Amino acid sequence: MKFYKLSPEKRRALLKQQGIDLSPISPAQLTAMDNLSENVVGSICLPLGIVEKLLVNGKEYMVPMATEEPSVIAAANHGSKIFARHGGVKVKNQRKGIYGQIVLQVNKTFKLKSIKDKIPNLIDVANHQFTSLINHGGGVKKITIRQEKQLVYLKVLVDPAQAMGANKTNAILEFLANLLVDFDGVEEKLFAILSNYPSQLATGRVSLPVNSLGGKEVAAKIALLSQIGIEDPYRGATNNKGIMNGVDAVLIATGNDFRAVEAAAAVLAGENGYHSLSSWKLEEDSLVGQLTLPMPIGVVGGSISARSDIQDAYQILGDVDSETLASIIVGIGLANNLAALLAISTAGIQAGHMRLQARNMVATLETTAENKELILKQMRKDKKYTLEYAKELLKKLQEKK
């Protein structure tokens, strides 16, 4: 029998015969995972941490973050606390919808006007076919068309309502494409699929007094680092990675497609030469930060309702719609960015990062929980964060006992 047709238990047994002994997993958990993916043999678990207070558009939120990097959550909390003391993050959303593409191959008898004249009718027919989306406030909003030689490009704008909308958009595009292939002069449909080009944008802005950051000299350095990130792609890429550390952690916690956001963010960062997605500028006695991100996300659909771990994250967030969640995520990205730039401008980023990472190192030691805490405490006291030093401390403890 083919591997994908086996039960997850039989797949695990087959791997064990090959010398691959996987970690134990409960039958219930294994079944739940098998319902979510393909060729399932186990699960990967991430810690779920919390940002205690993020103030966005005048309202406070606790924000769930799924990541194995303690410094990411620590940084988000640090940045968020600074924001909250000074009015929080103000976010504006431009949620046009998702773009999809249909590309047709045509012959010389094809007349572009024949489809152009039918666009209003095509929108009506599609929306009638997908009434459930209309009932939730979404639907096909606009179709534009152009021809390049023997190829005809249709760009379809779909409002996915409260869902991310990838599957529904693709279904709409396939439906429309099947109608279009019957037009005179159309040879075949080349593809009908959504585009991950950035369309649903959220822009967050904060204004911080320079004394909240350690004075004007520190604020000026942050502004300079920001400018370097805009002008130098090497710095810009690292700056954006720091932003996406926080963004991806919230996307994963809320069951959203972080890969779609990453792809769209890369396009946005690459416009007019690769640059940082954020900017920080001194304006009199304030440091003003701004971040724009594509947010093709949802709060329903996909695996969101099917996963109890994801529902835990929404319990933490409270009742949020897609626009609110987009605003929260941009706020977290900006908080992570500020914390990183502030660390670089003062003590340096590595010391704090390694202090938090020390817990991961100690976790790998084969000893008691009590010994691990003693070792971690000593490492932080001595400010020595290497696995070799952790092992040296363990050896001393064992010799003492």
Cα(60)–Cα(84) distance, integer angstroms: 9
Catalytic residue, from 69, 159, 248, 323: name it. 69
Residue-range definition of the domain harbouring residue 305:
52-92+199-346
pLDDT, position 347: 66
Convert the pLDDT of each residue in 230-245 to its tens digit.
Answer: 999 999 999 999 999 9
Q: Are residues 339 and 372 in the same domain?
A: no
Question: What does the pLDDT read at residue 169?
Answer: 94
257 is an active site residue: yes
d(CA 180, CA 18): 51
- The pLDDT of 297-326, averaged and rounded, is 92
Scan for tokens 């023997």, then name that residue: 150
Residue 41 lies in a domain: no
Q: Can you give the pLDDT at residue 349?
A: 47
Could you tell me if 190 and 203 lie in one domain? no
Task: Kindly state whether residues 340 and 242 are assigned to the same domain.
Answer: yes
What is the rounded average pLDDT of the residues 73-81?
Answer: 96
Asked whether the predicted pLDDT for residue 123 surpasses 70, the reply is yes
Confirm whether 257 is domain-assigned: yes
For residue 252, pLDDT beyond 60: yes
Active site residue 86: no
Q: Are residues 217 and 235 located together in one domain of the fold?
A: yes
Beta strands in 57-185 (DSSP E): 59-66, 90-95, 98-106, 139-148, 151-159
Q: Is 353 a catalytic residue?
A: yes
Q: Which residue has the higher pLDDT, 280 or 365?
A: 280
In a domain, residue 44? The reply is no
Q: Which of 168, 194, 220 is at the close of a domain? A: 194
Residues 164 and 256 in one domain: no
Q: Is residue 183 part of a domain?
A: yes
pLDDT at 68 exceeding the cut of 70 = yes
Is residue 371 included in any domain, yes or no?
yes
Which one from 9, 257, 262, 309 is the annotated catalytic residue?
257
- 207 or 385, greater pLDDT: 207
Does residue 176 sit in helix, strand or coil?
helix
Our separate counts of H helices and E strands in the chain read 15, 10
Q: Distance of CA 292 to CAs 99, 202, 327, 366, Å?
A: 19, 6, 10, 45
Q: How confident is the model at residue 362 (pLDDT cuts 50, 70, 90)?
A: confident
Residue 179 and residue 205 in one domain:
no
* Whether 211 and 255 share a structural domain: yes
Residue that finishes a domain, picked among 141, 174, 194: 194
Q: Are 325 and 319 in contact (CB under 8 A)?
A: no
Asked if residue 9 and residue 62 are part of one domain, the reply reads no
CB 53 within 8 A of CB 60: yes
Check whether residue 214 and residue 310 sit in a common domain. yes
Domain count, the chain: 4
Q: Which pLDDT belongs to residue 164?
A: 85
pLDDT tens for 313-359 read 999 999 999 999 999 999 999 999 999 999 998 865 455 556 666 77
Backbone angles phi, psi at 324, to 5 degrees: -65, -45
Which residues, 6 or more positions from 31, have their beta carbon under 8 angstroms from its beta carbon? 8
Q: Is 211 part of any domain?
A: yes
Residue 126 domain flag: yes
Q: Are residues 241 and 101 in the same domain?
A: no
Residues 232 and 341 in one domain: yes
**Active site residue: 116, 128, 241, 383, which one?**
241
Query: Is 47 part of a structural domain of the chain?
Result: no
Give the model's pLDDT for residue 182: 92
Q: Evaluate if residue 399 carries a pLDDT over 80.
A: no
Instruction: Write down the pLDDT at residue 387.
Output: 81
Active site residue 241: yes
* Residue where a domain stops, chosen among 301, 322, 346: 346
CATH number for 60? 3.90.770.10
Give 12-56 pLDDT, tens digit per residue.
999 999 999 999 999 999 999 999 999 999 999 999 999 999 999
**CATH code for the domain of 119:** 3.30.70.420
Q: What is the mean pLDDT of the chain?
A: 92
Same-domain check for residues 225 and 210: yes
